[in-house]
Every structure is written in structure tokens, then in C-alpha cells.
Amino acid sequence: MRVNLEQAIAKLKRGEVVAIPTETVYGLAADASNENALQQIYAIKERPANNPLIVHIATKAQVGDWAAEFSPLAQKLAHAFWPGAFTLVLPAKPEVLKIVRAGESTVALRIPEHAMTQQVLKESGLGLAAPSANKSTQLSPTTASHVAHGLGEHVPVLDGGACKIGIESTIVAVEGDEWRLLRLGMIGEAAIALVAGKPANKNKQATPRAPGQHLLHYSPITPIKLFDSKSDLIDFATTHKGCVALMIGDGEIASGKTFNLPNNPHTLAEKLYDTLHQMDALNAALLLIEAPPNQTEWLAIKDRLSRASHKTL
């Protein structure tokens, strides 16, 4: 069900859920200080209780409502990357609801850039928990119709067009003057290190962890097989009928439909989930996908595709 801005704000204030557009993917939003509202997010998404939620806020001034510490390093990163596809995990104030942080001692915060969602945040005055508006482990939505298709027509959706970034935010945990990368996104490690003035702490024992980063994630219903080269993919398709292919730049398979995405990580990311949704709708036996090149700017896309393909590995 489509709702307009005023209806979305009224619903959120009443403790109801609304799917909202962001520049990364559509989020299933609810008041992050309302336990009942948050329970609806977990129920609708069938999200495991140990997977915490990102709280979306309008301004840096609101960080102090949620985080117990906003260190100079965290402030530097916030200044460089907010508003945008960047999430900071910071030590939480004790009063932040346990259901938001899934029992962790930290809270994840993001200021999104999408104009409509900025307006929702500003006019409601709320912090909004908003994980991707899809069933847990399935493909993330980048349009209002993806949300309706994945969660059902009864879920209210604020339509803000197609998401411009197209994959989930980069997540960075900051404790004092140390930072760690918890999830890759289109803002890469090198850009963060440059702003931080130091490399990430890669100590495996370090906390916080990023719970909920399961190997099977971001996944279509149809199984996926990844190929390191175009020719391997094309060869496979000649002996396996009923497949659909996704290739980067040029190329096609003779035995089925081929989707081609641009050979540029940013424009490819913008179209990636929509293309996977379209491929999934064709009820093919298998989706054959050309793996991106081994260069750092493709790492986030590689991460999503390898998780999406996990069940066929």
C-alpha cells in the first residue's frame, strides 16, 4: 500500500511500520524508541533476534541521544561521510532499547541522504530503525514495487523512486581512536583510512562484532553460480539449458536471456538488486553470474554476490 509523506510520518509516530526510501536500499522503518514497533520489524522480516538494527537520524546533534561516546575519530568520519551510505557503530547509552542493539553494548547510527527520508526524520523528530525492507536473507529492495513484492501489498510504502547507491551501507565500528570495518559498502576502506588518518584495526578478537552478517544473505530464490571469466560462463551455458546470465559489460549466452550491466562498480551497484529481482522472476534453473574483477572498488559487490550465491557453493 503506497502512503504519502504525511501518512508515513503519522504512522511512524503511532508506532506503526512504514517502508521508506534511502539512497542504499528501502528500509522497513519504525520508531527506534518504541519496543512494540520494533517487534513488528522483526516479525515482518522474520529477522533473527540476534541481528541488531541501524538507527537512522536527521542530524549529528542527535548522536548524543543514542551513543555514550562520540570520539574525535568518530566525529571526523561522521563529518566526512554523513549524510550518506555510511553507518557508525558506537558505544550505546544504556537506555537504548536492547531490541535495537540485539543485546550488544553498541548502537549503529546513520544519517541518510535521501531527501524524502531526511524530511521524514526531521518532521517526525524520531530515530528510525530501518533494516532492509525484505524477508531476512532474501534480496534487498531498491524500488517500492520490490518491497510490495517481497513483503506484501499490506505493508505501507513511501515511494521515493529507485535507490541511487543500490547496496547496503558501509559499517564502521569506532571505539576511542580505533576503527574497524564491519561491512563493506560503496564507501571503501581506503577512503575511510584517509579520513581516519590511520588503517583499520584488523585484530580478529576486537569488539564489537557485526552479528547478523550471515554467509547466506542478499539472495534470490533461484540458485546462483558465479564465474571468474566470461568464457567459462558461456561454456557452461552451452551444456546447461534453462539458465539466465548476468554479464559485466559485453557478452551473451546462446541458450537463454542475458542481462548486461555496466563495467563500473557504482553504476552496476545501482542496478544490481533490480536486475537480480528481474532474473529471479524468470523462474530459471540457475542464474549464471560473471564475478566482478579483483580490484578494491569492486569488493562490496563481490561480497554481496558471494553471499547471494552461498547456497550453491
The residues of the shown chain that bind ligand AMP, judged by CB under 6 A, are: 51-52, 54, 89, 101, 104, 106-108, 131-132, 168, 171, 182-183, 208, 210-213
Nearest residue to ligand AMP by CB is 212
C-alpha cell at 74: 568518530
Q: Cα-flanking dihedrals φ and ψ of residue 243, to 5°?
A: -100, 160
* Contact status, residue 298 vs residue 214, Cβ threshold 8 Å: no
Q: Compute how many residues bind Mg ion; rule: CB under 5 A.
A: 1
C-alpha cell at 252: 551473451
222 binds, among Mg ion, ligand AMP, none (CB under 5 to 8 A by kind): none
C-alpha cell at 295: 580490484
* Contact status, residue 57 vs residue 109, Cβ threshold 8 Å: yes
83 binds, among Mg ion, ligand AMP, none (CB under 5 to 8 A by kind): none
C-alpha–C-alpha distance, residues 124 and 158, integer Å: 14
Q: For the CB of residue 45, give the shortest distance to ligand AMP in the complex, in Å.
A: 9
C-alpha–C-alpha distance, residues 260 and 164, integer Å: 18
Q: For the CB of residue 25, give the shortest distance to Mg ion in the complex, in Å.
A: 7
Q: Which is nearer to ligand AMP, 204 or 295 (CB)?
A: 204
Q: For the CB of residue 171, give the shortest distance to ligand AMP in the complex, in Å.
A: 5
* Contact status, residue 269 vs residue 167, Cβ threshold 8 Å: yes
108 binds, among ligand AMP, Mg ion, none (CB under 5 to 8 A by kind): ligand AMP
DSSP assignments along 104-134, one per residue = -SEEEEE----HHHHHHHHHH---EE--BSS
Q: Which is nearer to ligand AMP, 171 or 268 (CB)?
A: 171
Q: Which is nearer to Mg ion, 140 or 258 (CB)?
A: 140
75 binds, among ligand AMP, Mg ion, none (CB under 5 to 8 A by kind): none
C-alpha–C-alpha distance, residues 296 and 186, integer Å: 10
In the window 100-159, what residues touch Mg ion (CB under 5 A)?
132
* Contact status, residue 230 vs residue 293, Cβ threshold 8 Å: no
* Contact status, residue 116 vs residue 20, Cβ threshold 8 Å: yes
Q: Which is nearer to ligand AMP, 15 or 212 (CB)?
A: 212
Q: For the CB of residue 100, give the shortest distance to ligand AMP in the complex, in Å.
A: 8
* Contact status, residue 158 vs residue 19, Cβ threshold 8 Å: yes
Q: For the CB of residue 299, give the shortest distance to ligand AMP in the complex, in Å.
A: 17
104 binds, among Mg ion, ligand AMP, none (CB under 5 to 8 A by kind): ligand AMP
* Residues whose CB falls within 8 Å of the CB of residue 4, separated by 6 or more in sequence, listed in order: 158
C-alpha–C-alpha distance, residues 157 and 298, integer Å: 31
Q: Which is nearer to ligand AMP, 42 or 259 (CB)?
A: 42
Q: For the CB of residue 283, give the shortest distance to ligand AMP in the complex, in Å.
A: 27
Q: Which is nearer to ligand AMP, 122 or 135 (CB)?
A: 135
Q: For the CB of residue 304, give the shortest distance to ligand AMP in the complex, in Å.
A: 11
Interaction site with Mg ion (CB under 5 A): 132
